Structure 1
Amino acid sequence: MSQTGGTSTTDEPAEGPVDAPVVGPLTGYRVGVTAARKVDEQAALLTRRGAQVVVAPALSLDPHRVDDAQLHAATEDVLARPVDLFLATTGIGMRAWFEAAKGWGLLRRLLDHLGDAEILARGPKSVGALRRYGLRELWAPESEEFEDVLDHLRGRDLTGRRIVVQEHGQSLSMVGHALRRRGAEVSTVSVYRVVAAEDPEPIFRMIDLIAERDLDAVTFTSAPAVAALMDAAGSTGRRDEVVSAFQADVVASCVGPVTSAAFEMWGVPTIFPERSRLAAMVKQLETELPSRREGLTLELVGGHQLLLHGDEVLVDGVEVKLSAAPAAVLQALVSNPGNVISRQALLAMLPSGTAGSEHAVEMAVARLRAALGTRSVQTVVKRGYRLAVAP
C-alpha cells in the first residue's frame, strides 16, 4: 500500500461489502441500445435483468426544431382557411407546435381551428397530446401505423377536402402525394427534424459489434433510429454485414410495429411487443434471447407444438424438412408469433434468387402450410400473414 497526499491506493481488493453482480433472465447477454431519449430508463430495465448494456445513440438527443419563421408561416397558412381533416402523428411534435403557437399568441385560434376539423391520430402519444390541449380524435389505429390511417381513409371521397398533416421528424411527402392523387388539398406542418447523433463514434463502434456478432440484441425505439444506423453502416462499408447479422444471429428488438416496419426494406426480421412500451420490449427480450439459445417452443392452434432448435424444425416431435424460402418465412413469423407480417416484409426476407414478386411469398407460405398444417399460418386480408399460436 502507498499513500499520496492523504489518499490511499492499493493493489489489493478493497475490504468490506461488494455489490454482487445482478443475476437475472438476461444474465450473459449483451444488448445494444440506440435510443437517445429515455436511455437511462431503458438501460436500467436491462441491467436489472442482468444484461450487459452498450449504449450508442443513433440520433441527436433533442429533435432539431425547424426554423421558427418557417413554422410560423405554416401555422398562418393552416389558419387561413378551414381544415376538413387533421392528421396528428407524434406527441412531441404536437406539443412543440402548440407551445410555439402559444408564444406567437396563436394557440387559442389554432386549437379552435383544428377543433372544427375531423381529427385522426397515429397513436397513443399523439392522442395524449391532443387531449391535453382539449382536442379529441375521432379515430386512431391500434397498430400506430400510418398505413392504417390511410387505409381508414380509403374508399372515402377526398376530392376538394383540405387535409393538414403534422410531420413526425421525417418527411411524409409520399403520404401527401397519395392523398393529392385522390383529389385532396394537402398541407404539411414540419415541427422538427430528427438528425444523426453529433458524435458518430459510439454508433460506429456498435456497427462493428453487430457485424462481428458481439451483441445478442439491439433495441430500437424509432424508425429514424433504424435509418440512421443503416446510413452509418453504409458509410463504413459494413451495411451488408450488419444486415446479415440481424438476419441470422443478432435480434433486432423494436418498441412497436412502426419502428419494425423500417427494417422491411432490408429484409431484417424483428420482434416487437403488443404494447409499444419500453418495459414490454425488454420483457419480450427476457424470453426471446434465452429461447434462441435453448430452442424455441410454441403452442400452435389445434393443439400442435412447434419446436425450433438451430436449423431443426419439429412439429409434435416429428422433424419437418423445409426448403430455403418456407424456412425464411417461418423464421419471420416465429420472431413475432401472433403478429401480422406484411407480404412486402416476407418478400424481402426470401433468399436471393427467389422470384421478386408476392407470388413467391404465396408459394413459400403454401409450402410452409403443407409442412406445418393449414391452420398454423393464417392470412390476414390486405395485411399479410401471421403464425396462429394458442391463446
Structure 2
Amino acid sequence: MGKGLAGKRIAIGGSRKIEEISTLIEKQGGIPVVRPLQGTVFLAEKEVEPDLQNFVMEGADWVIFTTGIGTETLLNLAETLGIKDQFLNRIQQASVASRGYKTLATLKKIGIKPVATDEDGTTRGLIRSLESFDFSGKRVMVQLHGETAPTLIKFLEDRGASVLTILPYQHIAPDSETVAKLCEELLNNELDAVCFTTAIQVRSLFNFARENGCLTEVLQSFQGRALAAAVGKVTAEALVEEGVERLLAPELERMGAMIIELSRYYEKL
C-alpha cells in the first residue's frame, strides 16, 4: 500500500467511525486531526406532530420525500397518532417526487410510484427531474432530514409554490469551539485536507464561517492548501453549493474509498 498521505494533516469532520478512519489515514502515512462537525441528530416527535396533522387535514398538490429513514419515520409517527390511513390517502392524492434509492424503496413498499425521481441521488438531480412541472400556486410538502435543503426550497418557491417542510429528525449543532479550531487551522494553512462524510458537516462549517465573518477566507483556504474531500455525491453537492470549487469525491461512496482517493491524489502530485 502506498503512502500518498505521508506527512499530510487530514481533518476528519465526522463523528462516527473516528478510529476506523484515523487508522486508514495513518496507514497511508497521514496525520489524522479529529474535528467533529456533526452534533447529535434527534427524533423531533413533538415538533413534527402539528405539521403532520396540518398536512393530513389540508393535503398538498405535491409531496417530496428526500430520505428513506425520514419517510419511514413519518409513516411510523402517523401510525402512532392514529392517522396513518389519512396520511397515506393524502400521499396517494398528490404528485410524489423522491430523492435517493432508499427513499424509492420505502415508497415502493407502500405502493407509491413517484412521478419524478433523481438520477444520481442528489438534490440537483431531483430538481432536474422537476423542471418540466408547473408549481405555480401549488402546495408542496417536503420531507427533510437533519438539514434544510435550501436549493430545493428556493427552486420550488421561485416557481410559485407554497412550501410546507416536515423535519422528523432535527440537528443539534456541534461544539462551537471545535468548529472555531478547524476554521483557525484552515486560515493558518495548517491542514492539507478536510474529510466530510455528510452534508450536515459541510453546513456546520460554512454556517459558522458565515456567522463569524471568515467565509471568504475559509473558501480561499479550500482553493489553496486544503483540499475538501466528500464521501459521496450528496456531500459533494453541499460543498459546491457553499462555493467550494476544488474537491475530491470517490466513485464508491465509502469512507475507505475517500481516503484511498485522497492518497492517490497526493501521489500523483
* TM value normalised by structure 1: 0.58
Matching of residue 249 in structure 1 with residue 225 in structure 2? yes
The answer to which of 243-252 and 123-132 deviates more is: 123-132
What's the offset of the Cα at 1:211?
2.4
Distance apart, 1:108 and its partner CA: 4.9
Matched, 1:230 2:206: yes
Q: Is contact 2:4-2:266 (8 Å) kept?
A: no
Cα pair 1:32 1:55 within 8 Å, conserved:
yes
- How far has the Cα of 1:123 moved from its partner? 1.9
Q: When you count helix as a share of all residues, which structure comes out higher?
A: 2
Which of 143, 164, 188 matches 1:166? 143
Counterpart in the other structure of 1:206: 182
Greater RCO (CA < 8 Å, at least 6 residues apart): 2
Contact persistence 1:35–1:57 (CA under 8 A)? yes
Compared CA separation, residues 196 and 176, structure 1 to 2 (3 A):
closer
* Corresponding residue number in structure 2 for 1:305: none
Identity %, equivalent residues = 27
Kindly name which structure, 1 or 2, has the bigger radius of gyration based on alpha carbons. Answer: 1
Distance in 1 between residues matched to 2:214 and 2:230, nearest whole Å: 21
Residues 1-391 of structure 1 mapped to structure 2, 5 A cutoff: 24-60=3-39, 62-66=40-44, 68-111=45-88, 113-115=90-92, 117-131=94-108, 135-159=112-136, 161-172=138-149, 175-176=152-153, 178-180=155-157, 182=159, 184-197=161-174, 199-233=175-209, 239-264=215-240, 265-292=242-269
Letter of the 1:106 counterpart: I
Q: 2:41–2:169: 8 Å Cα contact kept in structure 1?
A: yes
Query: How well do the aligned residues superpose, as a CA RMSD in angstroms?
Result: 3.3
Distance in 1, Cα, partners of 2:137 & 2:246? 41
Given that 1:216 and 1:289 are in contact with CA atoms closer than 8 Å, whether structure 2 keeps it comes out as no
Aligned to 1:379: none
- Partners in 2 of 1:181 and 1:243 — Cα distance? 27
| Unaligned residue ranges in structure 1 (runs of 5+) | 1-21, 293-391
Distance in structure 1 (CA, Å) of the matches to 2:265 and 2:145: 30
Q: Is 282-291 or 136-145 further displaced after alignment? A: 136-145
- CA distance in 2 between counterparts of 1:268 and 1:215 reads 17
Quote the Cα distance in structure 1 between the aligned partners of 2:159 and 2:217. 41
CA distance in 1, matches of 2:235, 2:220: 19
Distance 2:126 2:11 in 1: 32
TM-score, length of structure 2 as denominator length: 0.80
Alpha-carbon spacing, 1:150–1:232, altered in 2? closer, same or farther (3 Å): closer
SS where residue 262 of structure 1 aligns?
helix
SS of residue paired to 2:140? strand
Q: Mark the runs of 5 or more structure 2 residues left unpaired by the alignment.
A: none
Q: SS where residue 32 of structure 1 aligns?
A: strand
Once the two structures are overlaid, the 10-residue window that deviates more, 150-159 or 234-243, is 234-243
Q: In 1, Cα distance between the equivalents of 2:214 and 2:164?
A: 39
| CA spacing shift, 1:260–1:181, aligned 2, 3 Å | closer
Q: CA–CA distance in 1 between the matches of 2:103 and 2:228?
A: 25
After superposition, the C-alpha distances for 1:237-270 in whole angstroms (9 at most, x for unaligned) are 6544433221111110112343334344445421
Count of aligned pairs between the two proteins:
268
- Cα distance change of structure 1 residues 195 and 29 upon mapping to structure 2, 3 Å threshold: same
Does structure 2 retain, via aligned residues, the 8 Å contact 1:111–1:135?
no
CA distances 1:33-74 after superposition (whole Å, capped 9, x unpaired): 1112444444344344443211111120x22444x3441121
The one-letter code of the counterpart of 2:191 is L
Q: Which amino acid aligns with 2:180?
A: F
Q: Matched residue of 2:117: which SS?
A: coil
